[in-house]
């Protein structure tokens, strides 16, 4: 456990109360300078720590902040996730791809409180404000071919749907292929990126990114998103983001462990079955999902097609 984590553990245990630098230093057998440096680093990560001369440091009670300890303590026993938590990053997917190229192991998880260059599908930007969302990426190394790897997006969408339902207590659903909706608003998007071997076509690694709107940002969502985006939580939640991150990682581990059962579960949570959608520029009715979560549609001229990628538009 790092010095920063040790200091945070004590502040969390005494949440809402002040601990002096001397108390922290003696309890942890550290210098006052080391305590100050650790607290400064925690503040840079966005943790709400108040400093008052003569009293010391206080972690605000009731605040919702992301911490590795708060997430790991909620993971299922035997979990193989290795969690890193940062403050603001450019993009969790981009940083984790760099780590993957440097040899980071399967199960590495990077979680950030905000992103300055968050990305969604088709090169779009992903709105990632500070202190209100959970932006995470998971590194997977599997002996899979392209077809198996393609399923990761829908696997992650199912896990995200289950996580949202667990922490919100409300019914969520999936808009094919990768968006999670709650009460008619998008609360999560998935972006999967992968590298394959040119020699055998097998997966070298995949980075699965999930961005959650945990809370409504101060002042609301930007005008261009206000009619589409929504939060997982209706009101402030103490450690709500830690609970949401852990719920996703637990659910994703469960889906990965039982890949044969996930298509039916995805289908049961899919919001577009039976609806008329726009697939590109063509209107079509959604008839079914196949065993790989491909979308079977019938166009107005009677022709049918199974969509395996791309984007559809539908009013939910």
pLDDT digits (tens, 9 = 90+) for 81-110: 999 999 889 999 999 999 999 999 999 999
pLDDT value, residue 119: 74
What's the pLDDT at 196?
Answer: 94
CA 247-248-250 angle, to 5 degrees, is 65
Instruction: Compute the Cα dihedral for 82, 122, 219, 88 and give only its sign.
Output: positive
Cα 268–272–276 angle (5° rounding)? 150
Quick one: tokens of 237? 């939640």
* Residue 75 tokens, joined: 């993971």
Confidence of residue 123 (pLDDT cuts 50, 70, 90): low
pLDDT at 122 over 60: no
Please check whether residue 119 is in contact with residue 93, taking contact to mean a CB–CB distance below 8 angstroms. Answer: yes
Domains and CATH numbers, the chain: 3-59 (1.10.10.10), 68-268 (3.30.930.10), 276-313 (2.30.30)
Tokens representing 56 are: 């010391």
Whether residue 281 is preceded by a cis peptide bond, meaning omega within 30 degrees of 0, is no
pLDDT at 61: 83
pLDDT for residue 121: 63
Residues sharing a CB contact under 8 Å with residue 28, sequence separation 6 or more, in sequence order: 3, 6, 7, 10, 35
Sign of CA dihedral 263, 189, 245, 242: negative
Write the pLDDT tens digit of every residue in 141-190.
999 999 889 999 999 999 999 999 999 999 999 999 999 999 999 999 99
For residues 116 and 95, give the distance between their C-alpha atoms in angstroms, rounded to a whole number: 12
Q: How many other C-beta atoms can be found within 10 angstroms of the C-beta atom of residue 71?
A: 26
Would strands 82-89 and 108-115 be described as parallel, antiparallel, or unpaired?
parallel
pLDDT digit string (tens) for 271-315? 999 999 999 889 999 999 999 999 999 999 999 999 988 889 987
pLDDT at 316: 64
Could you tell me the two tokens for 126? 């992903």
User: Is the pLDDT reported for residue 17 higher than 70?
Assistant: yes
Please tell me whether residue 57 adopts helix, strand or coil conformation.
strand
CA angle 106, 109, 114 (to 5 degrees): 155
pLDDT at site 38: 93
Determine the distance from the C-alpha atom of residue 43 to the mean position of all C-alpha atoms in its chain, rounded to a whole number.
22
């Amino acid at each position: 456990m790092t010095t920063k984590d040790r200091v945070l553990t004590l502040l969390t245990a005494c949440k809402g109360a002040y601990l002096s630098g001397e108390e922290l230093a003696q309890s942890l057998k550290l210098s006052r300078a080391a305590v100050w440096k650790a607290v400064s680093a925690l503040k840079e990560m966005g943790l709400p720590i108040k400093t008052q001369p003569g009293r010391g440091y206080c972690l605000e009670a009731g605040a919702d902040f992301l911490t590795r300890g708060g997430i790991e303590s909620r993971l299922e026993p035997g979990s193989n996730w290795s969690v890193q938590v940062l403050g603001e990053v450019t993009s969790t997917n981009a940083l984790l791809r760099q780590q993957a190229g440097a040899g980071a192991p399967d199960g590495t998880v990077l979680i950030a409180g905000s992103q300055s260059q968050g990305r969604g599908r088709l090169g779009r930007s992903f709105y990632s404000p500070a202190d209100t969302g959970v932006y995470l990426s998971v590194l997977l190394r599997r002996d899979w071919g392209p077809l198996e790897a393609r399923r990761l997006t829908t696997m992650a969408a199912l896990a995200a749907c289950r996580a949202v339902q667990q922490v919100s207590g409300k019914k969520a659903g999936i808009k094919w292929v990768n968006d999670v909706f709650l009460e008619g608003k998008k609360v999560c998007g998935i972006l999967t990126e992968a590298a394959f071997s040119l020699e055998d076509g097998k997966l070298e690694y995949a980075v699965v990114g999930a961005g959650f709107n945990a809370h409504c940002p101060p002042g609301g969502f930007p005008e261009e998103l206000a009619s589409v985006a929504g939060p997982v939580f209706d009101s402030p939640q103490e450690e709500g983001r830690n609970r949401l991150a852990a719920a996703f990682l637990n659910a994703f581990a469960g889906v990965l462990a039982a890949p044969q059962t996930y298509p039916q579960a995805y289908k049961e949570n899919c919001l577009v079955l039976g609806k008329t959608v726009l697939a590109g520029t063509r209107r079509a009715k959604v008839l079914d999902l196949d065993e790989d979560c491909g979308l079977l549609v019938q166009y107005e001229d009677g022709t049918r097609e199974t969509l395996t990628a791309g984007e559809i538009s539908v009013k939910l």
